Amino acid sequence: MSSSSDRANRVSFNLTNRAHTIPPQLLDMQCRAFYIEFLQVDSDGLSVERRANAKNHATFKIDFHGDYDGILGVRLDMRPDVDSESIRSDNRTNSFSQGDLYLVPRVYGGRSDSTCRTIELPVNQGVRLRHLLKSIMDEGLHIFSFICINNKHLGCRDFVTQALYKMHSARLVSPDIKDTVPREQELRVGDAYNALGMRFRSDPRGQGRACPIDKGKFEFHTRVEAAYMPYDGSQAAIQLINYLAIMTTQQPEVASRPISGSFAGKVAIVTGAGSAGDGIGNGRAAAILLAEQGASVLCVDREKEWANRTVEMITTEGKGKGLAFYGDVTKATDCEAMVSAAVSAFGRLDILVNNVGIGGARGTAVDVDMVEWAAGMEVNVGSMVLSAKYAIPAMQKNSGQVRGAIVNMGSVAGIRGGTPHLLYPTSKGAIVNMTRAMAAHHAPDGIRVNCVCPGMLYTPMMYAGGMSEEAREARRKRSLLGTEGNGWDAGCAVRFLASDEARWITGVILPVDAGATCAVGSDLPKTASVSN
């Protein structure tokens, strides 16, 4: 007759209804450093007994009744009242902290005999990994997984491999079941965690070796997610393992190289994409360059003829797709319609280039007209916010790690400040810090946000009002390189920041100014010595 304390430590249950939940009693069965994490059976039931003996060992007695096809998981969980044991191998030390390592023997089969297995896990001195592995492997559970849930302790995979190696004095050989790699090809010990179907035994020559086994897996995983594992046995039920994903082993991911300069399949919106006549402004240059590399571009401008001409430049050379859109990006209705037009025409939205800007109100804080000030801030800053407001939700619908890219057009005036008027450097400085804030806000969405800050480029906006050759020459001399830039220089910077080549770049403020923000060319010393 079982005592009340025995009954308290024993849980029996059936999963004949193929339930998709873990009995809560199991999650509460703690014995200092260890507890049962997950149990799954096909039918007839499973009972688990937990007890601690006089030597302070935790013993889990697992009784499988009838046919079964299930999983037993034991989590190594060093609690504050248990000293962590250092795993030593070849004078190397690695300590496990709380929850670092899961040991998951995976039982396959449909055996008809009643089975009783007992696994003793010593906790008084911590756990020597080699002994723990041996106790599991000796039970004939030839399929097991290791899940390292603390990325800082990814190195413990090497200690598991070392323990297996020393325990069996075995050479590690290729376990490829399909024999695509010779079985005798030796693997480095540190590479064994990539192997599938590994089991150790002695060959007729008395030498230890690892050999492949059908359906076997030797797994390491480093991600903990609320994920489901498909089960291949007769049960076919799917269980959630307490937010622990047991995933199919894959080879380490090889970093994919981005296709240089390719925007194939991408859709972009460029605001301020027009220029007077055939002039090349920043927006027109960006639109043409994106289209040349395969993007479909919605060219937005208030001037219908300007936008149409940009589209003609794109389509005449036959290097991309362009569509003109006439709208005022200071109006929410136009921004919403702009995004809808791009999605309707091309199916998605990947890139937004916020390029609209004006010189705006003149004067200092003393004499600036506040109505003109508000209008200038609305164009230079507010239009970018409105465009992003409607573009970002469309980008969020894309798949992949990077779902969209926004490039804001600022100015070196937003970095350095400047004269003679207050509005322009103030608004461009706002764009700089707006870019950083947007990058932080939308990084979790996989949306990158960067800013291009052109210097004194020679664009239609500059020369439309008339510029003397003397003034043009003076602008050229204000750069370190002593050369003149134009809209193509800004457009190339936009193209790069919008591309997959910049997939790891966000929140960046990129000056395109031939070094003007570093120093003034005419003031540079003639030699490396500033004293000469």
Give the residue numbers annotated as catalytic, written as ranges: 424
Question: Counting runs of H as helices and runs of E as strands, what totals does the chain give?
Answer: 14, 22
Place of tokens 């969980």: 77
Q: What residues form DSSP beta bridges with 64?
A: 46, 115
DSSP per position, 206-222: S-EEEEE-TT--EEEE-
Under a CB-based contact definition with an 8 Å cutoff, are residues 411 and 452 in contact?
A: no
Under a CB-based contact definition with an 8 Å cutoff, are residues 96 and 102 in contact?
A: no
- Determine the angle formed by the axes of helices 332-346 and 383-396, rounding to 10 degrees: 30
Q: In what order do the strands lie in the sheet with 115-122?
A: 10-13, 46-52, 57-64, 115-122
Q: What is the Cα–Cα distance from 128 to 95, expressed in whole angstroms?
A: 11
Q: What is the Cα–Cα distance from 257 to 131, expressed in whole angstroms?
A: 44
Under a CB-based contact definition with an 8 Å cutoff, are residues 208 and 202 in contact?
A: yes
Q: What residues form DSSP beta bridges with 409?
A: 452
Count of all residues that appear for the chain in the document:
532
Our CA dihedral for 484, 488, 492, 493, rounded to 10 degrees, sits at: 50
Gyration radius of the chain over CA positions: 33
- What's the one-letter identity of residue 340? S
Distances in Å between the alpha carbon of 430 and those of 378, 408, 413, 514? 12, 11, 11, 23
Q: What is the Cα–Cα distance from 196 to 409, expressed in whole angstroms?
A: 51
Task: Determine phi and psi for 52, rounding to 5 degrees.
Answer: -120, 125
The structure tokens listed for 206 are 């008395």
Under a CB-based contact definition with an 8 Å cutoff, are residues 129 and 87 in contact?
A: yes
